[in-house]
Chains A and B, each alone.
Chain A
Amino acid sequence: MSENPGIPVDPSTQEPLLPLRAPAEDAPRPATAPHVPRRILVLGATSGIAETCCRIWAERGDSLFLVARNADKLAAVAADLRTRGARYVDTAVANLDDTAAHPDLLARAINSLAGLDVAFLALGILGDQPEAERSFAHAHEILHTNYTAPVSLLTWLANYCAQRHGGTLAVLSSVAGDRGRKSNYVYGSSKAGLTAFLGGLRNRIDREGVRVLTIKPGPVKTAMTEGMKGSQKFADVEAVAATIVKAIDAALGKGPDVLYVPGIWRIIMAVIRAIPEAIFKKWNL
C-alpha cells in the first residue's frame, strides 16, 4: 500500500511526482474522449512542423515545455498554445547549438514538467548548399545543428528514459538522409548521420522500454521550405503533424520505428536508394 495515497507516484521509481508548477485553471476545452495528459518536451518549438504538432497537443490538454532560440517567436507560440487549452506551458530561450548548456536545460525542463513522457526534437536548419560547398564553416554549422546537437540532447535524454524504463524520443530526421544528392548533400548527410544514430540508439534502449521514433518527412510546406522550387506542391503541414502525433501516441512495440510522412515517401525513397550509383551519379537531383 502506498504511503501517500493522494499523491501520484512515478511507476518506475516510486518517487512521488511533484505537482505541476502552475496547474492551469479548468480552461474550457472541446469535449473529446478522456485523454491522459502527457508531458512533452519540444526542442525547436518554433519550427513549422513542431508548432503544428504542439497545437494538436495543446488542444487535447497536454503539458508542454518549449525550447527555441528566439524569445519573441517563442512567446507567440506559447501564448497560442495556452489559449488553445494546453494544461501547462513553460518555455526556455536557448541556443541548442550550445551543447554545454544541455544538461541544465534538460533538468530544468523535466523539473518543470515533473517528469517526461515525450521528447520531440525538431531542431534543424536547411542551410545553403552552395554556401556549404564553398565554405566548411557553413557545412560545419549545418552538421552541428542537425547532428551534433541532437546527439548531445539524445545522449542525456536516452539515459534519463532508460533509467526509468519509459518515455518516447521522437526525432525529426529527413528523407534527404536516405541518399546523398548534389542539391543538398550536406543537409542530407547530417540527417543520414542522425538516422543511423537513432537506429543504434533504438537497438540499445527499446529493450529498456524506451521508444525511439525516427520521423522522415518529405518536403513539407513550412517557413523552412518557402521559396523552394515546387513548394506549392509540398505536403500540408497540418496533415503531416497529425500523422506524427498519432505515431508518437502509439504504445511501445505498437507504433512505427521509422515514420515516412507522407507515407508515399517510403516507396519513393526505396526506389531512389535502389538506383545504382553508376547511374545515379550522372543525374541532376
Chain B
Amino acid sequence: METAPPTIEPTQKPAINGSPRFESWGRYPTYDAALRPMHWQGDFPALLNGVYGGALAVGLGRSYGDVCLLKGGTLLPTTGMNRLLDFDAETGLLTAETGITLAQILDFAVPRGYFLPVTPGTKYVTLGGAIANDIHGKNHHVAGTFGNHVTQFELVRSDGTTRLCSPTENPDIFAATIGGMGLTGVMRWAQVRLKPIVSRLVDYQGIQFHGIDEFLALTAESQHVEYTVSWVDVASTGKNFARGIFMKGDHSNVPAPLTKSAKPKLVFPVEAPGFALNSFTVGAFNTLFFHKQMKKSVTALQDYEPFFYPLDAVLKWNRMYGKRGLLQFQYAIPWDHAREGTEAVLRAVAKSGLASFLAVLKAFGDVPSPGMMSFPKPGITLALDFPIKPDKSFPLFQRLADMVQEFGGRLYPAKDAAMTPAQFRAFYPQWEKFARYKDPGLTSSFWERVTGQEPTR
C-alpha cells in the first residue's frame, strides 16, 4: 500500500493556538514552529505523522542561539517525558527519560547522597539537552564533559528503528549523538553515572587577579581543585585590563544534612527597555562585582545552589536584555595560542564598548570527550554575553570569530547565532563525517544555517 501524502491541515497551526512560541535563551533569533510535545517514550516517531519541514526534539530552550529552533518545522518539547526508570544506590547509576531536568535529577539525587558528575551554570536543562550539546562545567579539567559520564542510551530514529548505544555497543552512533545537537535521532532514555557527596556545601575560595598571566598561574596551582572558574571584567582597560575573580571549590567532605533545594520564587518581571544595558551600567556593574570582594582572597562554605547556579535564583533573567535579546559568544582556543588569543579578544571587546556583564573564563582540561562534535578542547574558554545592538553586534561577532579561527580555536554551537558556514566547517572539519549519522527526519535552524549556502558578508 502506498503511504498517504503528508497532510498539512492539522499540523499547520503556528505553535499551540496562540501560546507563546518556543524561544532559545538568547531570544534571538525567533522563529515560528509547530509544537508537538512528547510525554511518552512511544511518542516518537509517532508524532511525526503529517509533519513537514523537519522536526527537532527540544528541552528547556536554554541554549542561546538556534540549535534548539527550527524555522517552519515542528519542535518536539520533551519535558513531559521526565520519568526516572532506575537508580542503583550502590553505584550511582541513574536511568531516566531524557526530558527530565538536571534540577529534577538533583531533587532526587542529593537527598540520596549523589550529585551530577558535570553540571553547567544552570540546572534548568534537560538530560537530553545536556547530552546533545555535550555540556561542560567548572570541573572540565578533571571530569571532562557530560558525555564522559553517560554509560548508555536508547536512540530512536525517525524511521522507527531503535538502537542501544554505549561506548561498546554502536560506539560510532554513541559518539555522533553526544554533542550531536539532537540531529541523530531522539534519545528515549539515558543512563548517567552520578557521583557521591556527603554535604550540600562547597568549600569555596575567591581570589582577585589582574591580567591573564595571574589567571594562568592560579589555574596551574589549582589543578587538584575540582571546580574552577573565573569571572573577568571585560569593560576595563589600562591597569585594570583583564582583572577578575578566580573562583574555586570542592564538595565539602564534612557530612551535613542532604536536603532538597527550595523552589526559586523570583521571576524577572518584565522586559527591560533596550537602553537599560549600556556601557555605563555594565561598567558600574563590573566595578561593583570586582570590589564586592574586598579582599585579595575570600574563603567560605557555600551551599551548592549559589556556587553552581547563581542565576537560577531569578527565573527568566534573560528578560533583562529586553526584547532584542542577547547573543552569547563562547570560544575554546588551544594552549599554543590560548594566552595571546584571549588577550586579543578581550582587547577587541573592551575597545568595542559593547561589553557584557557576564564574562566567564576557564581553562579546559585534556580529558577527551566521547562526542564526535563536542566543543571543548584543551586550552582556554571564554564566554561573553552581549545585548544585541543591531548595527554593531554582528560585525563585532564576525571579527571575533575570525580571530578565534586564526588562533586555531572554535565556537560553541549551543551558544551561537552568528557563525558562518565557512567558519563552522573550519571549526568542525569532522562535520561531514557527522552528517552521515544525521537522521533525515530531523534538523535544526542551526544545522540549516551552517551547512547551507554562504551568505554575502
Chain A positions within 8 Å of B, measured between CB atoms, are 27-28, 30-31, 72-73, 76-77, 79-80, 83-84, 223, 226-232
A84 is contacted by which of B20, B108, B260 (Cβ under 8 Å)? Answer: B108
Which residue from chain A places its CB closest to the CB of B40 in the assembled complex? A73
- A-B CB proximity, top 9 nearest: A80-B83, A30-B111, A83-B84, A232-B19, A79-B85, A227-B16, A223-B39, A80-B84, A28-B112
Give Cα A136–Cα B80 distance, bound, in whole angstroms.
33
- Asked whether B168 is an interface residue with its Cβ less than 8 Å from the other chain, the reply is no
| Minimal beta-carbon separation of B38 from chain A (angstroms) | 10
Chain B residues with Cβ under 8 A from A73's Cβ? 40, 42
Q: Decide: A72 and B16 in contact? CB cutoff 8 A.
A: no
- Residues of A near B3 (CB, < 8 A) are none
Report chain A residues within 8 Å CB of B437: none
Q: B298 interface residue, CB < 8 Å from A?
A: no
Bound Cα distance from A232 to B257, whole angstroms: 37
Question: Contact: A229 with B17, CB < 8 Å?
Answer: yes
Instruction: Give Cα distance in the complex from A87 to B434, angstroms.
Output: 46
Shortest CB distance A64–B (Å): 14
**B40 CB, min distance to chain A CBs, angstroms:** 5
Contacts of A223 in B (CB 8 A): 37, 39, 80
CA–CA, A31 to B37, complex, Å? 35
Closest to A83 in B: B84
Cα A228 to Cα B17 in complex, Å, equals 7
> What's the nearest-Cβ distance from chain B to residue A8, in Å?
28
Check B18–A229 contact: CB distance below 8 A: yes
Given A31-B111, A227-B17, A229-B18: A76 touches B86 (CB 8 Å cut-off) = no
B396 within 8 A of A: no
Which B residues are closer than 8 A to A by beta carbons?
16-20, 37, 39-42, 80, 83-87, 89, 97, 108, 111-113, 257, 260
**Do B111 and A226 touch (CB < 8 A)?**
no
Are B41 and A76 in contact (CB-based, < 8 A)? yes
Closest chain A residue to B19 by CB distance? A232
* Chain A contact surface mostly: helix
Taking a contact as CB atoms under 8 Å apart, the answer to whether B40 and A72 are in contact is: yes
Write the chain A residue with the least CB distance to B86: A83
Chain B residue at smallest Cβ distance from A30: B111
Which chain B positions have C-beta within 8 A of A30? 111-112, 260
Contact of A72 among B41, B80, B87 (CB under 8 A): B41
Report B-chain residues with C-beta under 8 Å of the C-beta of A31.
111, 257
* B32 CB, nearest partner CB in chain A, Å: 16
CA distance A20 to B41 in the complex (A): 30
Which residues from chain A contact B260 at a C-beta distance below 8 Å? 30
Q: How many Å from the CB of B84 to the closest CB on chain A? A: 4
* Cβ A28 vs Cβ B41 within 8 A: no
Determine how close the nearest CB of chain B comes to the CB of A249; give it in whole angstroms: 20
Measured between beta carbons, the chain A residues less than 8 angstroms from B37 are: 223, 226
Q: When the two chains form the complex, which single residue of B84, B85, B89 contacts A27, counting CB atoms closer than 8 Å?
A: B89
Enumerate chain B residues within 8 angstroms of A80, measured Cβ to Cβ: 83-85
Q: B16 — nearest CB in chain A belongs to which residue?
A: A227
Complex contact B80–A76 (CB within 8 A): no
- In the bound complex, what is the Cα–Cα distance between A47 and B245 (angstroms)? 49
Pick from B19, B20, B83, B108: contact of A76, CB below 8 A: B83
Nearest CB of chain A from residue B46's CB, rounded to whole Å? 12
* Residues in A neighbouring B19, C-beta threshold 8 A: 230-232
A176 to nearest B CB, angstroms? 19
